[in-house]
Structure 1
């Protein structure tokens, strides 16, 4: 899979737009900014479709990968954007790094810590931030911002190698 993809995920309370440009994208952010909510919404849509109350707009399928059977499940996913939450320990394994490198999927990894075994670009580290509070009438919009400015790249690379 090549090229840029825009993923828009929304329900009646939240909307998140996320540009995906490379095979590995890191998504970080403070607590309660919507990282896990994003993963949950994509998973609900993947499982129930429109009946979930979630709308996922993208030109390729979006999937969630989790659990102890991740290797078996990943073998069945192709040409998709795969979302993985930080509580999945396999994301930090060399086996996952090898599997990700040899697949045709793009990956969005929610992570608060460096993942030195994965060859991601510092240009594809995004921070999720809320732009407003949700109410039943008006949804909260979460925006995605590049996390690391060019001046901090050297510091980040130093941190990754420790």
Structure 2
């Protein structure tokens, strides 16, 4: 029963998006949207052979809240750097040892880092477990290492591993 509900989650989301885009809840659009959603979800299953079931939903909510706060703070900091001019910041690359190995967790970490203005995921060595990160304003390398490890990697390990 649980697997059926899990499988129907994506078609339900696609149906809601379909109805919102068409701005109607007529029976014709519900039927057409349901058929399209089921077919698209079935076709997409072949593209995603590795499955993941996130654990600890409260940790996930806390992580999402932290990401929203960090993105907001980073937007303000980057805007301030741009307005103050090019001399006021020191860009650079840092290497951060990462213990996270789950591909879904690594993908989430890459998205979080890239969504945050002023940081870019520049590379990851699977053999060494080292993330290369480009930071727009790199004043304290240890601060960035602790930020990534504590604020993002630790919750992602709890959620995906």
TM-score category (smaller protein): under 0.3
Decide which structure has greater helix share: 2
Which one scores higher on RCO, CA 8 angstroms, separation ≥ 6?
1
Q: TM-score, normalised by structure 1?
A: 0.21
